[in-house]
């Protein structure tokens, strides 16, 4: 379906309904697979919503997680690709 670099996928998005985790009513859900997998949703009964937020960990945060996972700390973060 995809490669490690996010190659072409056969499907890029999907809309569906699912039970709201807050009130149990049906909420609108949306998934997207380009440029990476994400999901969002909104409930038109109680107002609950969620969406992906893109941000970046600091070098200290990355190294703390790497140490917890038995990986060597980094000296610097890799540059982001656009």
For 33-80, the pLDDT digits (tens) are: 988 899 999 999 999 999 999 999 999 999 999 999 999 999 999 998
Q: Which two tokens stand for residue 69?
A: 């996972």
Is this prediction's pTM over 0.85? no
Q: What is the pLDDT of residue 62?
A: 97
Domain ranges for the chain? 13-68
Backbone angles phi, psi at 59, to 5 degrees: -60, -40
């Amino acid at each position: 379906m995809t490669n490690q670099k996010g190659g072409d996928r056969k499907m890029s998005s999907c809309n569906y309904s699912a039970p709201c985790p807050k009130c149990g009513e049906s909420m609108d859900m949306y998934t997207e697979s380009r440029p990476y997998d994400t999901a969002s949703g909104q409930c038109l009964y109680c107002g609950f919503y969620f969406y992906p937020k893109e941000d970046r960990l600091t070098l200290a945060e990355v190294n703390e997680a790497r140490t917890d996972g038995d990986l060597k700390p980094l000296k610097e973060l890799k540059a982001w690709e656009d």
